[in-house]
Amino acid sequence: MLKTIVDSADCEVRSVIRFLNAKKVKPSEIHRQLVEIYGENIMIDGMGRKWVRQFNDGRTNVHNETRSGRPSVVNDGLVAKVNEKIRENRRFTIKMLFDEFPQISKTVLHEIVTNRLNYRKLCSRWVPKMLTDVHETK
C-alpha cells in the first residue's frame, strides 16, 4: 500500500508531471499516478494535460510566472497612519476613517483594521444575568 502525501507544494506536483512527461508517460496515466499518491483533490485531469502541453512546448520552469496586477496601496506607513487615527478616537467607524483617508476604499480600510491591526468590533448588549444562590447571598 502506498503512502498518501498531503500538503504538497504546487511546484512539487509540476516537477512530477515534468519528470513523468520526460519519461513519455501519457497525460491520463500521469493524472492517475498523481491521484494515487497525492489524493483526489490534487489536480484535475485538464490542468495536468495543460502542464504536459507546456512542457512539450519547451517550458522548463515549474514555478508560477509573476503576474502583472494592480499594486497594493497598503504599506507600513499607511497602516501606521490608520492606527494613529484609531488611537485618537476609539469609537471610530470605517466611514469615519474613509473621510480621513478618501484615497483608500472602504474595503481596503476594513482589511487594514481587521487583518493588519487586528482590531475587532465589540458590541455591548444588555443581557439577563443569572446569579446562583451563592452569588445572591454575597
List, for residues 56-101, the tens digit of each pLDDT value. Answer: 999 999 998 877 777 777 888 999 999 898 888 877 888 888 999 8
What's the pLDDT band for 127 if we cut at 50, 70, 90?
A: very low
The CA distance from 43 to 130, in Å, is 54
Q: Are 48 and 30 in contact (CB under 8 A)?
A: yes
Centre a 10 Å sphere on the Cβ of residue 18 and count the other Cβ atoms it contains: 20
Cell 507546456 appears where?
A: 54
**DSSP conformation letters of 1-41:** -PPPP-S--HHHHHHHHHHHHHTT--HHHHHHHHHHHH-TT
pLDDT at residue 45 is higher than 70: yes
> Which pLDDT score, from 0 to 100, does residue 131 have?
63
Q: Does domain 10-57 have CATH number 1.10.238?
A: no
What's the pLDDT band for 28 if we cut at 50, 70, 90?
A: very high
Whether the CA torsion 57, 60, 62, 64 is positive or negative: it is: negative
